[in-house]
Amino acid sequence: MIEKIYQEEFAEKVINSPITVVVDFFADWCGPCKMLSPVLEKLSAVNPDVKFYKVNIDENPAISDEFEVQSIPNIVIFKNGQAVDRSIGFKSEQQLQEIIDRNR
């Protein structure tokens, strides 16, 4: 299961990570977010060199604002502490794998 993180640990786990990080900005009430969750779980299992986290936008508005999350689901790829790519809306496993691969 992908770990849900909060604002106070975001810098430690995402910004300071030495490896590529995929962050799923989501909300419990979001239907497409619920559809995307099993896709991300599968991707996290087949990409052991990439870390995956979930951030609930309702519980972490400051992080959501900082990274300009205006629509969900919103997947942000971080590399060397920087947001380097983004995917908005539901995407297939193949589409998300391509985004991950180009940002390793």
Q: How far apart are CA 101 and CA 77, in angstroms?
A: 11
89 is catalytic: no
Q: How far apart are CA 11 and CA 14, in angstroms?
A: 5
CB contact at 8 A, 54 and 27: no
CB contact at 8 A, 71 and 89: yes
Catalytic residue among 5, 30, 39, 57: 30
8 is catalytic: no
What's the token pair of residue 7? Answer: 């604002």
Catalytic residue among 5, 14, 33, 96: 33
Please identify every residue annotated as catalytic: 30, 33
